[in-house]
Structure 1
Amino acid sequence: MNWQEYISIKLNLHENANKIILDKTGLIKSDAFISHLKSNNKNFYISRSILEILKILNRNENAIIITDLPLVSLPSSVQQKSELIVFNYSDLPFNLPSQFYERLTIDEIIKSLEYIVHKNIKIDILKKYTIKDILNEASKFSLNAHYSWHLEMLAELLNQEINYNSILQIGYSFGYLNYLAWLTHQKPKDELLEKVDSNVSQYILSDKLKNAFYEPLSTFKTVDKIRNYIKSQQKQKIALICFDGMGVAEWFLLKDYLKQGNFSFNERFVFSMIPSNTLISRSAIFYGNLETVYNLSYSNEEKELNEYFENYFVKFYRQEDHLDHKNLLGVDFVCIIYNIFDDIAHNTQLPPDNKNKNIYFINVRNYLEKSKILNSINTLVKNKYHIYICSDHGCVVARGNNQKIDKWLQDQYCKRACIVKNDELIQNLNHLDCDRIEIPFDNTRLVLLAKNRTMFDSDKKIGITHGGITVEEIVVPFIEVNA
């Protein structure tokens, strides 16, 4: 029996009757318990007003009504029409003292309950554990369970027909898996990595990814739609925080750091441009025009954002700038650029036989713990900004392929990709063993892509870089922050 079923039985939720649960713990309102109610087809509501509760009761639906309203606020007419249940910490499983649960967050309570149930730890043994012991073991158990679940989900996704929506799902699952592998000291099998890369590259190289650009704005799938989407939301005060080089795994590192701020997040994942380099992909966020960004030699992001949001007073900040109430006075649109992921990636030294980003993850975590990013976001929240977090591209561990593209052929160049003119000379250039793809909506130029997880460099070189078409590089987060 899981902990959700234990609570359901204790509260007689299988009974077909009106019940109002005054949740003093937050656990009944948690996603984990709500999912349990949904899977058991329970008719339930989460309500925060007396009027709403009365309307539900008058419909005679035999509903479960979950609320955090104080008992004294409920009129007798409400109490007469339903069974009233006050759910306290003392009602949680295993008869542990209320003080044990009161010190924990909802997430910690859920992890602890899942660990205790799964391990079938007896109450007399459990009482010998300290809170710290239980939390440590519960956290390990939860991470390993998530790792196993995402392995299964990824395998299932890879056996389905590939399209751009499934690639975004694969990118999310694979990125989270890499993050969990680092935390749990596990290593995804090489065969899994190869299958992910093979399935994704086949789809992209067949030129089908351009279909993602036609998505409506409400469900946009590419970074060039970010500014249009933000403008369509018509918020009075806006903050756009762009983290250069933040892929899915990196987002989970940042998210873990931000948990100190007690935020929640609306997450979606979108595609960078190809090649996945800063000049093109980050410019696409601020210019919103593909034809323009593929012809840039220099990006003026501040000018573009000011012109597009002409009715806002826009101010740009860099990661070294201090943010406080004074320098935000009169500013309608704050834009902050952080280069920490990209800078640390390019400067992380890897041993010759390295295949993962673990050393880089450690470097990023160490930086975040000493950074002022959380302070800046808290300042924006206090000053009533609606906050969006985005990225231009991710990164990947790549080895040199001992190939070189002559400078006179290059329009734009990065370690894993090069834009060249699509002419007869390039068509007959057979000495380069690389993949080729047309630039979206521009058949006059090609992107030459280093194959698999390689880069155009000496075969003795290994490093963390970007520009290619792995999901680690082209699937990036777009986040709305809820205070």
Structure 2
Amino acid sequence: MNGWRQKLISQIPFQQHKLLFVYDRDDILSDEELLSYLQQNEVNIFTFKDRAELRIHYEEQLEYSSGKWIYKYVGEGSFTFPFDMLKNQEPVELTLHIAFPNLSLPILHQLDHDALDGVYKVSDSLQSPLTDSETMEFLLRRVYKLSFDTIENEVEWLSFLIQLHDHRLSVPNVLIDFIIEHISSKSVQFQDLFPLAYFKNKFMEFLQNHWDEYVKKNINQDISIQEGTTSTYHKDHLFSYESMRRMIQHYFIEGKLLPKEVDKERNIPVWAEHGVKQKSYQPLKDIHHLGEKIDLFLDEGKIQHKDWIEVAVLYGQMKMLQIQYGVGEQIVNELDKKINQLFQDWMLLNYQTLASFSPYIRPAMVHHVLPYMQFQEERKQVLIVLDGMSFVQWKQIKQALDVSFVSEENGVFAWVPTITEISRRSIFHANIPRLQSSISEEKAWRQFWKRESIADMHITFENHLAQGEFDVSQIAALQKTNTKKASIILRNIDALTHGAIQGLEGMYAEIDVWLKSGYLQQLILKLLEEGYAVYITSDHGNTESIGIGRPRQGTLVETKGERVRIYKDQMFRDEAASLYTSIKWPNDALSKEHYYLLAEAREAFVTKNEHIVSHGGITLEEVIVPFIKIDKRK
């Protein structure tokens, strides 16, 4: 490890002490590479919010833990570590200023750690400190390489927004503010489009509405859209410009924009064919495109957790198209093998670091979801947990929702083993499995919000098998008008998983029937109308597997899952591992009284050659699940 990380980690004397105390104001120790480095050196990190949380861990957990510990405080307040813990040891103050002395610290605070890699490569050229404004211009030109000072009209602005929202690095709002202020000084005529820079889902909604209008006026009315020609009506339309035509095609392929249906078969030019839905559509082209984009991530070498989330999103779309149209199975299966071999290697090396990530900018794991929601300034919130939903099912559901809603799409890692008893509990306990109490999910949900000063009368929790027509009277969150925090578990997908005798194709057909009933759409619409901020997530996904045989160990196994077996004795776990291809999963963040055996990708501990859909293991489809925010389409 080198660069800015080496400069900062050298400030922590973890070689000399078992217990260290760090003021990490910039949340530096949530960096993926730093966490991995500390883990390799047997250094654990505990991030706490207040003295009570710190004291509980210090007195109840520390003495049972191996390795070294860093107690990390992120807040801006005047917090002091308790004297009896310090024992004449001085806390360490970590700050980005150590690595970047010539750049504005308030601006650096806004950057993702990936962006800091780029900053470090070019910051050596600086001879003197830069102001806030100079720092922002330096970052935009040298790190993000965004050319913003030549924008003079609406089309140039919208083309720039595509580059902005597709950028490999997340562009923070402070830099967007700077860009807008610069453009505003030119007295341009498109100020009403400035807000689209801050929200990708709103920008996609804008493009969708303009595309729908364009198809309706041009294609369905037989007005020519041939290459190099435009209609009189649309001579100044957004999609009359070659730059925009070229830049939006991948959005349709990746499911970020919906193709517009046309009333009959037409001869569509190449640039528009992905954005028009007709019977002659050839999904194989899209499957190839998605596979090539996934390969770009896999072949990069250094893959981080957010890269895997992007792979999961793309793979979900790819697999959904293959199931929907019944083509490209060999392409998908070959890529699936490559993905899951690399993902398994990554999980065994890096997964344990994810629990230490900060949940406040974006959640990394399912137990981060509640802290993330708590950090948002929203009076009414609802969390819909679609139990057992993978990104493959989400992409199918998204197709149905996109007609009326816009989605802010992200992903989080489930807890392994990827079973309801562990991963769904983690959502509501908002903590790693080892630190959870034995209380129910509902009680944990209520306790979390009570700690945030929400009275019990303003909290609801419900669990449904959402069958038949939607009945608003059955939803407590919609009956209690004073509700501020609502949770709704829908068990349909998990129930379908365990009864999927026709595999994922059968599940697709069953989910299609459910979506046509309109239950989910009506539920979301009613919640939005009642003023809720609507979040959707899942506790784990699912995968197709083939049986390799059932280990005959009877009562020696505590949990006999199809893709995971849980033991109370390590010897019996290891005995089973020697008989079957499997993975001995570490129990660092799990109960120390249990030992875990996972089936390899596409295998299950069931009757030999039996085909099932199940969960419990560490394939991409099981581990990375959707985390979505939903709003009404305008």
Length-normalised TM-score, structure 1: 0.72
Q: Give the alignment partner of residue 150 of structure 1, picking from 287, 290, 294.
A: 290
Give the distance between the partners of 2:309 and 2:150, measured in 1 at CA: 43
Cα 1:257–1:17 change in 2 (3 A) is closer
Deviation, structure 1 residue 289? 2.3
Deviation, structure 1 residue 435? 1.5
- Is 1:65 the counterpart of 2:190? The answer is yes
- Is 1:237 the counterpart of 2:380? The answer is yes
Cα 1:287–1:341 change in 2 (3 A) is same
Q: Give the alignment partner of residue 323 of structure 2, picking from 182, 191, 197.
A: 182
SS at match of 1:133: coil
1:8 matched to which residue of 2? Answer: none
2:310 matched to which residue of 1? Answer: 169
Give the distance between the partners of 1:245 and 1:459, measured in 2 at CA: 24
2:610 matched to which residue of 1? Answer: 461
Cα 1:114–1:454 change in 2 (3 A) is closer
SS at match of 2:373: helix
2:445 matched to which residue of 1? Answer: 305
The 8 Å contact of residues 426 and 433 in structure 2, kept in 1 or not, is answered as: no
Deviation, structure 1 residue 423? 3.0
Q: Letter of the 1:264 partner, please give it.
A: V
Q: Letter of the 1:478 partner, please give it.
A: F
Cα deviation digits, residues 36-92 of structure 1 (max 9, x gap): 7999xxxxxxxxxxxxxx9777723x85736479xxxxxxxxxxxxxxxxxx96899
Q: Give the alignment partner of residue 416 of structure 1, picking from 549, 555, 563.
A: 563
Give the distance between the partners of 1:174 and 1:400, measured in 2 at CA: 24
Q: Within 5 Å, which residues of 2 pair with 1:48-447?
A: 59-60=185-186, 65=190, 67=192, 94-96=229-231, 131-134=263-266, 138-139=276-277, 143-159=283-299, 160-184=301-325, 185-189=327-331, 190-204=333-347, 206-218=348-360, 219-261=362-404, 263-292=405-434, 300-310=440-450, 311-312=454-455, 313-317=458-462, 318-320=464-466, 322-323=471-472, 327-350=479-502, 357-421=504-568, 423-429=570-576, 430-442=578-590, 444-447=593-596
Cα deviation digits, residues 292-329 of structure 1 (max 9, x gap): 58886xx7221111111121411123244733696131
Cα 1:279–1:426 change in 2 (3 A) is closer
Q: Which has the higher relative contact order, 1 or 2, with Cα contacts under 8 A spaced 6 or more apart? A: 1
Deviation, structure 1 residue 271? 0.7
Give the distance between the partners of 1:477 and 1:245, measured in 2 at CA: 11
Deviation, structure 1 residue 422? 5.2
Give the distance between the partners of 2:375 and 2:283, measured in 1 at CA: 38
Deviation, structure 1 residue 426? 3.5
Greater shift in the superposed pair: 460-469 or 375-384: 460-469
SS at match of 1:303: helix
Cα deviation digits, residues 214-259 of structure 1 (max 9, x gap): 1111333110111111112242111110000111111111111112
The 8 Å contact of residues 434 and 589 in structure 2, kept in 1 or not, is answered as: no
- Percentage of matched positions with identical amino acids: 19
The 8 Å contact of residues 291 and 335 in structure 2, kept in 1 or not, is answered as: no
SS at match of 1:236: coil
Give the distance between the partners of 1:479 and 1:465, measured in 2 at CA: 23
Give the distance between the partners of 2:513 and 2:353, measured in 1 at CA: 39
Cα 1:58–1:228 change in 2 (3 A) is closer
Q: Letter of the 1:35 partner, please give it.
A: I
Deviation, structure 1 residue 200? 1.2
Give the distance between the partners of 2:152 and 2:290, measured in 1 at CA: 36
Give the distance between the partners of 2:581 and 2:316, measured in 1 at CA: 28
Q: Letter of the 2:185 partner, please give it.
A: R
Give the distance between the partners of 1:241 and 1:38, measured in 2 at CA: 27
Cα deviation digits, residues 101-126 of structure 1 (max 9, x gap): 99x9xxxx979x969xxxxxxxxxxx
Give the distance between the partners of 1:252 and 1:147, measured in 2 at CA: 14
SS at match of 1:193: helix
The 8 Å contact of residues 223 and 285 in structure 1, kept in 2 or not, is answered as: yes
Greater shift in the superposed pair: 284-293 or 466-475: 284-293
Give the distance between the partners of 1:234 and 1:55, measured in 2 at CA: 25
Unaligned runs of 5+ in 2: 1-148, 167-179, 195-212, 219-223, 251-260
SS at match of 1:132: coil
1:84 matched to which residue of 2? Answer: none
Give the distance between the partners of 1:56 and 1:174, measured in 2 at CA: 39
Give the distance between the partners of 2:386 and 2:517, measured in 1 at CA: 17
